[in-house]
A and B are shown apart, each in its own frame.
Chain A
């Protein structure tokens, strides 16, 4: 479904080359819920951006649903992103002067979905995140947790095959974070594939599969279903110590 082979990402300035990712290999199967952890600056977000086709990669092969992403133009990547991927950001990234309804409508408009179907999908998604009654509100009229739920509704509205979440609970208190996590778990249980970058070890433990990114590489690759989470923390600490 998602396959990265020897992916590298180099940021080039006049004098310095920074390798954000190197020899990055990952296979993601349909329906997986993957937590990506790792120290700050390790390349987690870069990985997520490349997975979401938000930025190009420097080398390697990236296949998404049997489409070679490296061969696509910018506009083709935008179309593919619109059809296959939903984003959830740490900062919610709602457009402030659009209502909740209109925020969720944004990706659907770019996909060219007709108004009647857009309405159905938006109402369904708002219902799912428990904000159906707030459709006409502006983002700033909501709490952080509610805004993140709107962002999730926006990500879900396009019925994406992948949900990419970059620290979705990073700006939320623990109660709100748990609620958002439960929402993501429900979404995953309905079949969506989720890749979530997080610093929160507790949340990471709740994901069936954990991967760590250290120094731009996949430091570990283990299925943690029904396993003790301590080893994850230990490995992360070890990786961080190595860095």
Chain B
């Protein structure tokens, strides 16, 4: 019967082509607008590492004096001081963890073949690649020995490898970062994340750094942070060493804690560390304050999806509701005009449920058509977003989930709009119309 209803729906649409086209376009435009904003929202808010987002924890330590305010919801700074980050980084804890800092270099090959270019570079521990699921095309992360020895080694991404080495296996080859020679130990696959969740300081939706070096090079090379640095009290920092020992916050820190027990143990470890620091009189705070927040909590905490984005999605759904109100009116007119035919069908044995289903299938077909066209309109909208806003360029796209969601929303919305007209027409008293046909 379902396929028969689809056949009847198709005939019905063909019988009133103008009204049908109006309804399909109304739902298509509504869906197009809705899916444009919803797709961006979806990309912004989607779990960037779903299989282990509940195992990766951003670490926050409040090493400010009591009464000091921060802009976070719980007054805890987002980053760590260098000395705290390095202590946690080097601590003998049985978990993967890494401090990391964003910096930048001029990349060149010391020859005429490749034009030098400025690139963001992340200084991190070797655990970074495993923790954040970076996959290697060639080579591997640097070894622990190389990290401890502060060897001048580098991991580059696929795009950089294409640019510098034409996509060939570059492991063992050398590149220049400013004036220093680095040996390539690994080439990673292009990292497809829409949200740069491991460092939300300089734009949540910026691309990940294409080049990584060991964090242990920070001190010998006296590198400069290209991320955010936040102070909370007056400090006369004039030297590189002074910055390393300062109470300014400029280092990101993550730990991978696969089990609840790991979380608890690391929690205790942080508690002990902060208690010890407090005892040493480093800050005035009655009890230690710190956070361990998993990836999704961290994104929520940092308001990756702003209120504006949520309002935009809300408004687009309201626009869809307006489109649906129009469709409801058209459906009412169309279905009520069909009452005599329904009267005949009822006289011939159709029960109310069958008539109701027939009309719901018809509105579903409308929704499906509108949804498919709506995907096209949404693609147009997303293209507009990409062209006009570089910040959202990587986010303005539809993944498979969104492509499937569009017709689902369209069908669902049309069914909602069609419920009342279908209910009204299924209540048709056949006797009223049989004489008047």
Contacts and interface: CB of A to CB of B under 8 A. Distances in A.
Contact of A95 (B4, B341, B354, B430): B341
Interface stretch (A24-32, A77-85, A206-214): A77-85
Contacts of A75: 351-353
Interface string B82-122: 00000000000000000000000000000000000000000
A29 B430 CA distance: 26
Interface of B is mostly: helix
Interface in A77-109: 78-79, 81-83, 87, 89-93, 95, 97, 106-107, 109
B345 A106 contact: yes
B346 interface: yes
Interface in B321-363: 340-341, 343-354
B350 to A, nearest CB: 5
A111 interface: yes
A54 B430 contact: yes
**Residue of B4, B340, B431, B436 ringed by the most chain A CB atoms within 10 A:** B431
Contact of B349 (A91, A97, A107, A166): A107
Interface in B72-89: none
Contact of B350 (A83, A91, A110): A110
A107 B345 CA distance: 8
A106 B348 contact: yes
A111 B435 contact: no
A217 interface: no
B303 interface: no
A168 interface: no
Contacts of B352: 74-75, 78
A207 B213 CA distance: 103
A79 B341 contact: no
A70 to B, nearest CB: 17
B15 interface: yes
A216 to B, nearest CB: 16
Contacts of A54: 346-347, 429-431, 434
Contact of B437 (A52, A82, A91): A91
Contact of A87 (B4, B15, B348): B348
A78 B351 contact: yes
A106 B1 CA distance: 11
A38 interface: no
Contacts of B282: none
A52 B347 contact: yes
Given A87-B347, A106-B345, A97 B435 contact: no
B4 A109 contact: yes
A95 B350 contact: no
Nearest to B346: A78
Given A54-B430, A95-B341, A110 B349 contact: yes
Nearest to A160: B349
A182 interface: no
Interface string B303-326: 000000000000000000000000
A127 interface: no
Contacts of B148: none
B351 A79 contact: yes
A52 B430 CA distance: 11
Given A75-B351, A109-B4, A110-B354, A166 B345 contact: no
A44 B348 CA distance: 20
A239 interface: no
Contacts of A205: none
B431 A107 contact: no
A239 to B, nearest CB: 22
A110 B4 CA distance: 11
Contact of B348 (A49, A91, A97, A154): A154
A206 to B, nearest CB: 24
A62 to B, nearest CB: 15
Contacts of B353: 75
A106 B434 CA distance: 16
Contacts of B341: 95
Interface string A155-176: 0001000000010000000000
A12 to B, nearest CB: 14
Nearest to A98: B11
Contact of B435 (A45, A78, A95): A45
Contact of A89 (B350, B354, B434): B434
Interface in A98-139: 106-107, 109-111
Contacts of A55: 429-431
Contacts of B345: 95, 106, 110
A78 B437 contact: no
Contacts of B354: 110
A119 to B, nearest CB: 14
Interface of A: 45, 49, 52, 54-55, 74-75, 78-79, 81-83, 87, 89-93, 95, 97, 106-107, 109-111, 154, 158, 166
Given A54-B431, A92-B437, 17 more contacts: A54-B346, A54-B347, A55-B430, A74-B352, A75-B352, A79-B349, A79-B351, A81-B349, A83-B349, A93-B343, A93-B437, A95-B345, A106-B348, A109-B1, A109-B4, A110-B349, A158-B349
Task: List the 6 closest pairs (A to B, CB-CB), nearest first.
Answer: A82-B349, A78-B351, A107-B348, A75-B351, A54-B431, A110-B349
28 contacts: A45-B435, A49-B434, A54-B347, A54-B430, A55-B429, A55-B430, A74-B351, A74-B352, A75-B351, A75-B352, A78-B349, A78-B352, A79-B349, A87-B347, A87-B434, A89-B434, A89-B435, A91-B434, A91-B435, A93-B340, A93-B347, A95-B344, A97-B15, A106-B348, A107-B348, A110-B354, A154-B348, A166-B434
